[in-house]
Amino acid sequence: MLLTLDILTTAAILFIVSIGLLAIFGVLKIINFAHGAWLTVGAYCAVVTAKLGLNPWLALPLAFAVGAALGGLAEHFIIRPLYRRPLDAILATWGLGIVVGQLITLAFGRDVQLTPNLLAGTVEILGVDYSAYRLVALGIALAIGTLFALTIERTRLGLSARAVIMNETLARSLGIDTGRVRLVVFMIGAGFAALAGVLLTPLTSVDPNMGVAWLIGAFMLVMVADASYLALAAACLVFGAAQVLISTFVSPILGSIAIAVLAALVLRISPKGFSRA
C-alpha cells in the first residue's frame, strides 16, 4: 500500500514538474533549458512569501504570475528572434537559465533557504499513515492535468496550439496568429514550471541550483512523451514506479538515475517514445 502511494505521488510530482516543459516543447519545438530556472524562481517565490509573513499557499498564484511574466519577456526578447535557428534558441534558454540562477544567487545568496511547510503531518489512508502533503500533491497533479486537458481539448487556444503542433505552416496560412500562440504557451509553460517550484519546496531544499536536477528528469520524460500530455502521464507513472521500486529494493542512488537510464532505453527501442504506444 505504502509502495502504491509512493509510486502515485512520485508520478504526480514528476508530472507537475514536466507539464510546463512539455507544453513549450510541443508548440515551440524547442527544449526550454531555462525550465529549471523557472522552477527555482517559483521556489524563491515561496521564500519571499514566507519572508513577508504571508500565507504560504499564496506562493502558488504568485509563482504562476511571476513565471508567466518572466516567460513572456524571455519569449519576446530572447526566443522569438531565434525561431528560425532552433539550436541557438535551445542554447539561449540554457544561457538564460544560468543568468537567472546567478541573479537569484545575487539576491538571496548561495545558501539553502528554509520555507514553511505548505501542509504538515500525516493522514491515515487505507490503513497506512501517509504524508498529507504528498497526497495533496497528487490531487494538485490531477487538477493540473484536468485543467491542461480541458484547455487543450475544449478551448480555442488549445485547438490553435494543437494545430501549431501538428502543422504550423498550415495553421499560419489559415490566419492563425502562431506568434501569439507561441507566446501564450511559453507563458503558461513557464508559469506551470514556477508553480511546480513552489510545490517542490516541502520535498526538496531550496537553493539557486535546485532546478537542474529536476530539469534533467523532466527533459527525459518529455523526450519519451513527445508532445502528448497523456503519454507524459503514462511516462510519469511508469518511470515514477521504476524510481520508487529501484530506490526501495535496490539502492536509492540507482533509483535516482532510473528515469534517465530508462528514458534512454525506451527511446533506443521506440524513437517516438510513449506517444505512439
Q: How far, in Å, CA of 50 to CA of 140, rounded?
A: 21
Residue 87 interacts with another protein (CB under 8 A)? no
Comparing CB distances to another protein, the nearer of 176 and 194 is 176
Q: How far, in Å, CA of 169 to CA of 11, rounded?
A: 35
| Single residue of 29, 76, 80, 172 touching another protein by CB under 8 A | 172
Comparing CB distances to another protein, the nearer of 68 and 176 is 176
Residue 84 interacts with another protein (CB under 8 A)? no
Judge whether 231 and 273 are in contact, CB under 8 Å: yes
Shortest spacing between CB 29 and another protein, in angstroms: 16
- In the structure grid, which three cell numbers stand for residue 219, read together? 527533459
- In the structure grid, which three cell numbers stand for residue 199, read together? 510545490
Residue 176 interacts with another protein (CB under 8 A)? yes
Residue 175 interacts with another protein (CB under 8 A)? yes
Shortest spacing between CB 157 and another protein, in angstroms: 12
CA atoms within 13 Å, Cβ hemisphere of 97: 25
Residue 185 interacts with another protein (CB under 8 A)? no
Residue 52 interacts with another protein (CB under 8 A)? no
3-state secondary structure of 130: strand
Shortest spacing between CB 52 and another protein, in angstroms: 42
Q: How far, in Å, CA of 233 to CA of 221, rounded?
A: 9
For CA atoms 84, 86, 87, 92, the dihedral sign is positive
Residue 163 interacts with another protein (CB under 8 A)? yes
Shortest spacing between CB 182 and another protein, in angstroms: 14
User: 123 pairs with which residues across the strands?
Assistant: 130
Residue 162 interacts with another protein (CB under 8 A)? yes
User: Using only C-alpha atoms, what is the Rg of the chain?
Assistant: 18
Shortest spacing between CB 228 and another protein, in angstroms: 11
Residue type, 268: R
Which spans of this chain sit near another protein (rule: CB under 8 A)?
156, 159-160, 162-163, 166-167, 169-177
